[in-house]
Amino acid sequence: MLIRRASDIRSSDVTDERTYLQRRDLIRLAGGIACATAVGTLVPGCSEHPAAESLAPAAPAAAAQATLENVRPAVVSTDEKQNTFEEITSYNNFYEFGLGKNDPQRYAGAMRTSPWSVKIDGLCNKPANYQLEDLVRPHALEERIYRLRCVEAWSMVIPWVGIPLSAVLSRAEPQGKAAFVEFTTLHRPSEMRGQSGTALEWPYREGLRLDEAMHPLTILAVGLYGRTLMNQNGAPLRLVVPWKYGFKSIKSIVRIRFVERQPATSWSMSNPAEYGFYSNVNPEVDHPRWSQSREKRLPALFASTRTRMFNGYDEVASLYAGMDLRKHY
Amino acid sequence: MRRLVKPLIGVLGVLPLVWLTFAVLTGRTSANPAEDIILTTGIWSLRFLLASLAITPLRRLTGWNVLIQYRRMLGLFAFFYACVHLAGYLAFDRFFAFDEVFADLAKRPFITAGMVAFALMVPLAITSTRGWIRSLGRRWQLLHRLVYVSAIAAVIHYLWKVKADSTLPLRYALLLAVLLGLRLWWLRRRLPRPAAAAPAR
Ligand code: HEM
C-alpha cells in the first residue's frame, strides 16, 4: 500500500473552514434563543440534547487525509448516486465518541491512529501482531462502491477503498476448527470519550461466520473517496459487510480472532431481542421498534426507497440456504 | 408591560420551528433532515407540555397568579409541535403508507405510546377555547386532567425510543415525576379538609 503523507492537503480544501464556523455560530445562536423559550431551568440539558446538536455541524477534524495510490477503480460499483464526503463524514453512529450523529465528527479527532497494530490470533497457524502497514501492504487496494444500510432505516452510497478480508484471513491460515471470526475495536477511554459512558459494553465487538468473512464482498476498508479514512468513519481500519446492517461493520479494529463458537457481539449483548448475530438486511423481518421495509436514502427527506433483501447483494443468498432468517435475524 | 408577555411567548414558541425551517431551507441540517425535524419537534412538544404542567406548581410556590394566563398557550404549542412531529413521521418515515402506520401502531409499543400521548392532546386542544371552558364548567377541569396521562405516555414514548442510553429521557421523566408528585403531595395534605378543596389544579 502506498500512502503519501499529504501534509499539503489542508482541511480547508475539503470544506471551507470559515463557512463551517459561521454556520456553527449562527446555529448556536438560534439554538440558544430557542432554548431560552422553555421557562428557565425547565429544559433538562437543552444544549446537550442530540436532536438540538445534530443541527450544528462541528469543525472538520484537523488532520489531513493522505491520498491512497494505485487503487483499482470501481471493482464493485453501482450506478446509484454517491453520498458526498461531507455527508459520509458528518453523520455517523460511532458510540465510542457519543450518541449524537455529529459527535463522531466532533470528537473522533482525539483518537490516535498511528502507530496502529492489529493482532490476528485464535485458531490459526500464523497468528501475528501486525503494524497496520504490514497488514495492508501485500494486498492491492480496491475501490468498492457499496450501499450502506443502517438498522435505523437510513442508507448511503459510499466509495470505500479497501482490501478483501479473505486475503488477510488466508494469510493467517485458519485451522479446521475455526468457524467464526471475532473483531474488536480499540478500547482507549482517554481518547474515546463515549467509552466512559455505559451505552454499550466496551470494547465494541463484532463477529462473522467464517464463510461470511471469506465472501468476496467483505472488505477491510482503509479509505474513502480515495483518501485514508477519517477517524469518525473508523480509521485506520474497519470492516465493511454491505449486505448486513451498518453496526456489523465494526470500526477501528485492533484484533481479529478465529474462534470455534459464535462470538458475543455488542448490540446483541445489549439487546438480544432486537439485534441478532446475523443482522442481514431484510425488509421482511422488522426491528421491534420500527419497520425495515423502506429506507431513507440520505439526504432525502422521504423514506421512499424500498429496502432490498441482503441490501440488494443477492449473491450472498447461498450463504444462508436452508436457514430460517426470521429466527436467525 | 404585562401585555407584552403573551406575544413574547408566542414569538419564542415559534422560534424552534423558524430555526428548523431555516436550517432545512439552507442545508444546515445533518445529512438526515427528516430525522432532525422529527426529533426536534418531538422534544419541543414534550418541553412545552412539561412547561404547561409546571405552571400550577410554580404559581403555588411563588404566588404569581398571573402565570395561569400563559398555560393555555404553552399547551397549544405542545399540541402544535406534536402535530408537526406526527406529520413528519407519516410523511417522511412511512411515506404515507397507512397500512405500515397501522402495523406500527399495533406492533410497536413505542409508537403506540406516542399515539396515546397525541390522541389525548386532541380533545384538550379543541376544548381550550373560552367558550368550551365556560360550557363545560367543572367537567373541563376533569377532562383536562388527561394531560397527566398524555405527559406520562409521551415520556414513556421517549424512553422506549432510545436505543442505548436513557439518560436524557430519564431526566424528563424525573421532571415529570416532580411536577406530578408535587400535585399528589398537595392533594394529600388537602384531603383531611375536603371542604377547602380549591379548584386550582
Ligand atoms: C402518533 C403519535 C406519534 C408518533 C407516531 C411519534 C413518532 C416518533 C418517532 C418515529 C420518533 C423517533 C424518530 C427518530 O428516531 O428518527 C419519535 C421521537 C420522539 N417523540 Fe414522538 N411520536 C408521536 C407523538 C409524540 C408526542 C405527542 C410527543 C411529545 C409530547 C413525542 C415526543 C417525542 C420525543 C421527545 C422523541 C425523541 C426525540 C429525541 O430523541 O430527541 N412524540 N416519535
The complex scores an ipTM of: 0.79
CB contact at 8 A, A223 and A160: yes
Residue B57 CA, ligand 1 centroid: distance in Å = 26
Compute, in angstroms, the gap from residue A309 CA to the centroid of ligand 1.
28
Chain A residues with CB inside 8 Å of B161's CB?
289
- Chain B nearest CA to A69, separation (Å): 29
**B39 and A50 in contact by Cβ < 8 A?**
yes
Q: Is A109 helix (H, G, I), strand (E, B) or coil?
A: helix
Report the alpha-carbon distance of residue A249 to residue A213 in Å, rounded: 11
Whether B169 lines ligand 1, by a CB cut-off of 6 Å, is: no
Query: Averaged over B95-111, what is the pLDDT?
Result: 88
Nearest CB to A299; choose among B32, B94, B163: B32
Residues in chain B: 201
Is the pLDDT at B109 greater than 80? The verdict is yes
How much distance in Å is there from the Cα of A307 to the middle of ligand 1?
23
Which positions ≥6 away from A176 have C-beta within 8 Å?
none
The whole-angstrom separation of Cα A149 and Cα A113 is: 26
**Residue A307 CB: number of other CB atoms within 10 A?**
19
Helix (H/G/I), strand (E/B), else coil: B3 = helix
Q: Which amino acid is at A126?
A: K
| Residues spanned by the domain of B65 | 2-183
How far are the Cα atoms of A163, A221, A241 from residue A140, in angstroms, in the given order? 7, 12, 19
Q: List, in order, residues 6 or more apart from A289 with CB less than 8 Å away.
A: A274, B108, B110, B111, B160, B161
- Return the pLDDT at B3: 83
Tell me, what's the pLDDT at B48?
98
Residue B164 at interface with chain A, using a CB cutoff of 8 Å: yes
CA of B47 to the centre of ligand 1 (A): 12
Q: Please indicate, yes or no, if residue B61 is contained in any of the structural domains.
A: yes
pLDDT score of A327: 84
Confidence of residue B119 (pLDDT cuts 50, 70, 90): very high
Tell me the pairing of strands A142-149 and A72-76: parallel
Asked if residue A30 lies in contact with residue B19, where contact means CB atoms within 8 angstroms, the answer is yes
C-alpha cell read off for A116: 496502529
Task: Give me the number of domains chain B comprises.
Answer: 1
Query: Using CA atoms, how far apart are residues B167 and B173, in angstroms rounded to an integer?
Result: 10
User: Residue B158: CB within 6 Å of ligand 1?
Assistant: yes
User: What are the angstrom distances between the C-alpha of A258 and each of A121, A167, A207, B19?
Assistant: 6, 15, 10, 51
Question: What residue of B is the nearest CA neighbor of A200?
Answer: B164
Dihedral in degrees, nearest 10, Cα atoms A213, A219, A222, A227: -170
Averaged pLDDT for residues B32-51 = 97
Query: Residue A300: what pLDDT?
Result: 93
Are A165 and A239 contacting, i.e. CB atoms less than 8 angstroms apart?
yes
Q: From residue A24, give the alpha-carbon distance in Å to each of A29, A307, B72, B81.
A: 8, 34, 34, 25
- Is the model more confident about B116 or about A13? B116
Asked if B97 is an interface residue toward chain A (Cβ–Cβ < 8 A), one would say yes
| CA nearest to A178, candidates A127, A244, A220 | A127
CA distance linking residue A178 with residue A258, whole number of Å: 6
Element (H, E) at A207: strand A205-209
Q: Which CATH architecture group holds A63-320?
A: Alpha-Beta Complex (3.90)
Whether residue B172 has its Cβ less than 6 Å from ligand 1: no
Maximum pairwise Cα distance, chain B: 60
Say what the pLDDT of residue A7 is: 42
Q: What are A131's strand-pairing partners?
A: A117
Q: For residue A245, give the nearest of A153, A145, A144 by alpha carbon.
A: A153
Residues of B in contact with A86 (CB under 8 A): 31
Grid cell digits, residue A91: 453523520
pLDDT of res. B104: 86
pLDDT at B200: 52
- Residue A9: the pLDDT is 40
Residue A52: what pLDDT?
Answer: 40
Question: Could you tell me if A178 and A124 are in contact, meaning their C-beta atoms sit under 8 angstroms apart?
Answer: yes
Residues 6+ apart with CB under 8 A from B142: none
> Nearest-CA residue of chain B relative to A52?
B40
Looking at ligand 1, which residue's alpha carbon is closest to its atom 24? B114
Range A287-290, long-range pairs (CB < 8 A, 24+ positions): A287/A151, A288/B107, A288/B108, A289/B108, A289/B110, A289/B111, A289/B160, A289/B161, A290/A152, A290/A153, A290/B93, A290/B104, A290/B108, A290/B111
Point out the least confidently predicted range of A177-181, B112-116, B195-199. Answer: B195-199
Q: Per the domain annotation, does B148 fall within a domain?
A: yes
B178 found inside a domain: yes
Report yes or no: A285 at the B interface, CB cutoff 8 Å: no
- Please give the distance, rounded to the nearest whole angstrom, from the Cα atom of residue A46 to the centre of ligand 1: 17
Q: Is-contact B111 A287, C-beta < 8 A?
A: no
Query: Do the chains contact at A30 and B30, CB–CB below 8 Å?
Result: no
pLDDT in tens, chain A (329 residues): 445 444 434 443 344 333 333 333 333 333 433 333 333 333 333 333 444 444 444 444 435 789 999 999 999 999 999 999 999 999 999 999 999 999 999 999 999 999 999 999 999 999 999 999 999 999 999 999 999 999 999 999 999 999 999 999 999 999 999 999 999 999 999 999 999 988 899 999 999 999 999 999 999 999 999 999 999 999 999 999 999 999 999 999 999 999 999 999 999 999 898 899 999 999 998 887 778 889 999 999 999 999 999 999 999 999 999 998 988 89
Whether residue B55 lies inside any domain: the answer is: yes
pLDDT score at B31: 94
User: Phi/psi of residue A223, each to 5°?
Assistant: -150, 175
Residue to substitute in B46, B85, B92, B105 for testing ligand 1 pocket (most ligand atoms within 8 angstroms of CB): B85
